[in-house]
Amino acid sequence: MEFSILSDTFDKMTRTQSRLELTALLVEAIKKTPKPLVSRVAYLVQGKLYPDFLGIEIGMAEKTVSKAIERAYGVESTAIQKLMRKTGDLGDVAAEISTQKVQQSLSSEKLTVEKVYSTLEEIAKTTGSGSANIRMNKLGSLLNSATNLEAKFLVRFVTGKLRLGVADFTVLDALAVAFTEDKKNRTKLEKAYNLTNDLGFVADTLANKGMKAIEKVKVTAGKPVRPMLAERMESEDEIIEKMNHDAAAEYKLDGERVQAHKTSDGNLVLFSRRLEQITHQYMDVVEALKSAAFKEFIVEGEVVAIDKSGKYRPFQELMHRRRKHGINQAMKDYPVVINLFDILLLEGRALIDEHYDERRKSLEDFLQKTKSKDRAMLVPARRVKDSSEIDSLMQESLSAGCEGLVVKDPKSSYTAGARGFAWIKFKPEYRPNVRDTIDLVIVGANHGMGRRAGFYGAYLLAAYDQEEDMFKTTTKVGTGFSDADLEKISKIIEKYRLPEKSPRVDAKVTSEVWFEPKVVIEIIASEITLSPIYTAGLDAVRQDSGLALRFPKFTGKIRDDKSPEDATTVAELLEMYQSQVRQFKSEKQEVQKV
Ligand code: ATP
């Protein structure tokens, strides 16, 4: 398959703001792709070579890429710098230089997707000393045969700036249409994706084995399962009602969610809430779980820092483990335990369709046969039948240093990748009148002034609209940031800067700078109001009005454990708004009674 088919598609994609058009372009490209290449195309359109959980990134430095351009086209570095100042994008620079190529191309061979992918794979796998030169030469050889459009997208790809605005769900939509002519099949593809977290695998299975094989996709040790998530509720009464007066209430521990996979070759890998590999951070947890007498399993739990007496410590203590060097000392100074709350696979048997009660039994059995009892344990849980029992467990949980409870339906299976009422989280701050935190995605910013000059001063934030797979704006926030926060966030966000609004962002307001929706921050607000300038929940409560936050303030927490799709959803904001209205009405009634 000629690579130009992809680079032409990429070019058209960069020119559209419409998600429907993006999907249509993808469908067209997938239909032109030979079946054995479909998985590679599924990764390439997202600027990847592999699923994220393998943690292999190509990440070439702009300096190395500039050198490759210099050599491939026989130009001076000053010419590149000059163009760079003009366009600000190394991909555009490569495209422009390749059109006025000084050096005649050594090869007139056309680039193919196979060739591009395998060379990029070689680049990704070449590491260690002396690797920069080899990587540069390999990229140079591709540039040498590339057309100007191909050069532009190759350069953007290797520098991690492809950014076509193609979300996972857009690819799933496109696959459904391309292979089954029916967008509704996306639900089945999504299920397979939720179980494997691997778009290339789903694409390959669909293309080469069909829908039947998609329906048979199972959880597999080594491929992270998208986590089951909880809805929130505000009172014990509401919760016990929803659970039909029989529920399993567990402590909600304040730590880091971890999914541990042991594969039959004896390897044990830990995945974060975002399903990235974090094995090296918690080698003590790895050791503890390796002491379980099983060959293959997937278990899930919350890793929590503890003090010498085994008491839980706050979430912030885990920050000491987020480092590359000195991890052995950090393990000694900041010990942790894993508190298991679920088991998804044991010795080749998928457990996700079994009821909570059965999974909990399997988990107990698992821990009985685990030697390291002080590092791996069960999350404290109790059966509750009325609201007073929930209340008393809540008091216990809070005094043990936890955040609250997760109340679970004993008859529920594990629904990967879904937020639902089979798990209900309950924290003291969910009670009405107490301000709750909201996790929102940075999509834009204005430059700071005065003391904030040089950084961004206010951020435009969006909630995630799950139905449309878009980010909808809901507030601008400029308070709550220390100088250090502003500096840190400005630095993190800079690499996601875009020349214009991302096609995944829906906004009516303008912004001086736009960003790819990537970074999630935690906000506290006094109230949710209606506003004509924001697009979250537009028309849901009132025609032409969206949901906005009143007095928003940054809490100091950058939620790097959350991907943008894990941010607070528009549906959740709407629920919060409605609960505010209910609260207001009942207060009014109270006043009238008095
Ligand atoms: P939050 O922002 O409240 O951490 P979240 O979006 O990360 O929420 P939710 O599913 O809404 O995830 O809330 C449950 C989270 O609470 C889990 O992701 C997990 O990290 C944590 N947790 C702590 N204890 C438990 C438990 N016993 N069962 C399930 N999750 C638990």
% the chain with pLDDT above 70: 96
The total number of structural domains in the chain stands at 3
* pLDDT level of residue 430 (50, 70, 90 thresholds): low
Dist. CA 513–CA 498, nearest whole Å: 8
The mean of the pLDDT values for the chain is 92
- 90 CA distance to ligand 1 centroid (A)? 41
496 and 458 inside one domain: yes
pLDDT value of residue 278? 94
Which atom of ligand 1 is closest in space to residue 562's alpha carbon? 7
Q: Quick one: CA torsion of 385, 386, 388, 391, rounded to 10 degrees?
A: 70
Please determine, for residue 434, whether its predicted confidence score (pLDDT) is greater than 50.
no
Task: Tell me, using a 6 A CB cutoff, whether residue 382 lines ligand 1.
Answer: no
403 and 324 inside one domain: yes
Task: Tell me, using a 6 A CB cutoff, whether residue 257 lines ligand 1.
Answer: yes
pTM of the model: 0.82
DSSP 352: T
Which residue range(s) make up the domain with 138? 3-158
What would the two tokens of residue 172 be? Answer: 């799933």
Which atom of ligand 1 is closest in space to residue 229's alpha carbon? 10
- 265 CA distance to ligand 1 centroid (A)? 30
Mutation to probe ligand 1, out of 225, 233, 250, 302 (largest number of atoms < 8 A from CB): 302
* Residue 329: Cβ within 10 Å count: 11
pLDDT value of residue 533? 94
Task: Tell me, using a 6 A CB cutoff, whether residue 337 lines ligand 1.
Answer: no
464 and 412 inside one domain: no
413 and 445 inside one domain: no
- 289 CA distance to ligand 1 centroid (A)? 21
- 531 CA distance to ligand 1 centroid (A)? 31
In a domain, 172, yes or no: no
Dist. CA 535–CA 509, nearest whole Å: 9
Q: Is-contact 156 162, C-beta < 8 A?
A: yes
236 and 130 inside one domain: no
Q: Of the residues 113, 131, 158, which one is the last residue of a structural domain?
A: 158
371 and 492 inside one domain: no
CATH number at residue 452: 2.40.50.140
382 and 494 inside one domain: no
Specify the residue for token string 């679970």: 408
In a domain, 453, yes or no: yes
- 394 CA distance to ligand 1 centroid (A)? 15
Q: Is 252 a catalytic residue?
A: yes
DSSP 159: T
DSSP 481: -
Q: Of the residues 158, 193, 209, which one is the last residue of a structural domain?
A: 158
In a domain, 33, yes or no: yes
377 and 311 inside one domain: yes
Q: Is-contact 573 536, C-beta < 8 A?
A: yes
Average of per-residue pLDDT across 146-159: 95
φ/ψ of residue 62, rounded to 5: -60, -30
In a domain, 594, yes or no: no
In a domain, 105, yes or no: yes
CATH number at residue 321: 3.30.470.30
Task: Tell me, using a 6 A CB cutoff, whether residue 225 lines ligand 1.
Answer: no
Distances (CA, A) of 129 to 122, 133, 554: 15, 9, 42
Active-site entry in 67, 188, 191, 252 = 252
Q: Of the residues 158, 183, 200, which one is the last residue of a structural domain?
A: 158
CATH number at residue 73: 1.10.3260.10
Task: Tell me, using a 6 A CB cutoff, whether residue 341 lines ligand 1.
Answer: yes
In a domain, 492, yes or no: yes
Which atom of ligand 1 is closest in space to residue 408's alpha carbon? 28
Task: Report the DSSP beta bridge partners of residue 306.
Answer: 312
Local structure of 547: helix, strand or coil: strand
* pLDDT level of residue 228 (50, 70, 90 thresholds): very high
Dist. CA 339–CA 382, nearest whole Å: 15
281 and 374 inside one domain: yes
In a domain, 431, yes or no: no
Q: pLDDT tens digits for 537-573?
A: 999 998 899 999 988 899 999 999 999 999 999 999 9
